[in-house]
Amino acid sequence: MALISLLVISILFSISSAEISGQPGVNYGQLGNNLPAPIISVSLIKSLKAKRVKIYDANPKILKALKNTGIQVSIMVPNELVSNISSNQTFSDYWVQSNVVPFYPQTLIRYLLIGNELISSTGNETWPHIVPAMRRIKHSLRTFRLHKVKVGTPSAMDVLESSFPPSNGTFRNDIAFQVMKPMLKFLHKTRTFFFLDVYPFFPWSSDPTHIDLNYSLFESKNITVTDSGTGLVYTNLFDQMVDAVHFAMKRLGYPEIRIFIAETGWPNGGDLDQVGANIHNAATYNRNFVKKVTKKPPIGTPARPGSVLPSFIFSLFNENLKPGLGSERHFGLLYPNGSRVYEIDLSGKTPESEFAPLPPPENYKGKAWCVVAKGANVTAVQAALSYACSQGNGTCDPIQPGKSCFKPDSVVGHANYAFSSYWAQFRPVGGTCYFNGLATQTARDPSYGSCKFPSVTL
């Protein structure tokens, strides 16, 4: 009898795994002022052989462009609406009626995601609203008979308190029982996925001395990590990160919930001091990821062998308006003009040998300066200049009246010096060349005449 039960469970698991494709999709972000129109973008998505796409809102132009394409679509309730939806069923109904009903089923909307990384990107006053909003939206979907649209919410890896070894995966104390357990109960009841953003680039770049690059790029030939708690052997950082979440869910009593990789990828460029953010590594990571998730039969992860891992690669385009370090603006498979940053086939069917050779993984070595970014708002630059100069250590002495860098006497002229001086002094203790997106790194020495700008050596 026990054997028959196990067989039934195995068959059910096989059916549930087979009902969704492992072929990755792509995240279509829109934080750029130079991106092509949706109709062109959709044709580019097709050219990459993506079977699914995720957008970060419910942009009607994009949803219209995806009509009758056969591409599965995930849309998103913006973070700022989550609290309102959680407390108002009428508002939830209206949102679904306005953003889903007019397009479905000609546009194959399959997932409706509540916010984006809400635990990471909003204050704790929003967190209690996450699961109630998921319930409201699910109720709205039932009201309009949209039974095939599943509800979820993407989480980043920082929902974990501990992640190593993977079997020690544990959700943070401040959210485990208040947010994550009710969320897992909802996902289990509605038979949907835990959506997870997984970026091996970030743990590797924060500790490249102790985390092997090849292990992070799925290129490890003989480097493995053994989980002392389970004996499971890991050959790449991605599996290690995903399984930490599997064990965290198991610890809360939900071992069966499947994971959907909502975002993964590797930057194709970045700031001068961002080692490892280059085209070679981005292509290597994403091509190897495609190989992994399209393999038949599916290989899953050490803790979930044989399971299908549906996924989206981030992102469709390099997005020039994304905030943060330079790498944030360089995750695209495509440049905004539609050309490919490197060759990739999301179906996994093109042999590696057919791709053109990649550029070597070179990292910049030499001096670098920090100057005002092109097009930066002068009023904001003035405030950043004041901040840099307020940090002491003589940061801005040379731009005082009568000193060597006073002229040209302009906000941008003074800020160029102040930003470089600040970065040179405070980089060893975590200071960055960012200033809320107003600054950029350069390898070109901005010094002039007797005015010598401080630099950092990379």
By annotation, the residues acting in catalysis are: 117, 263
- Going by C-beta distance under 8 Å and a sequence separation of 6 or more, which residues neighbour residue 55? 27, 28, 29, 30, 62, 73, 74, 75, 76
- Is residue 153 exposed (0-12), middle (13-18) or buried (19+ Cβ within 10 Å)? buried
Burial pattern 237-268, b for ≥16 Cβ within 10 A else e, equals bbbbbbbbbbbbbeebebeebbbbbbbbbbbb
List, edge to edge, every strand of the sheet that includes 367-372.
439-442, 367-372, 456-457
Amino acid (1-letter code) at residue 318: N
CA distance readout (Å), 184 to 151, 304, 317: 12, 18, 32
What is the Cα–Cα distance from 153 to 157, expressed in whole angstroms? 13
DSSP state of 448: B
Q: Are the beta carbons of 126 and 82 closer than 8 angstroms?
A: yes
State the chain's maximal CA–CA distance in angstroms.
92
What is the Cα–Cα distance from 157 to 128, expressed in whole angstroms? 19
What is the Cα–Cα distance from 103 to 110, expressed in whole angstroms? 12
Direct distance between the N- and C-terminal alpha carbons of the chain, in angstroms, rounded to an integer: 66
- Going by C-beta distance under 8 Å and a sequence separation of 6 or more, which residues neighbour residue 361? 276, 278, 280, 281
Q: Are the beta carbons of 271 and 134 closer than 8 angstroms?
A: no
Dihedral sign for Cα atoms in the order 205, 209, 214, 215: negative
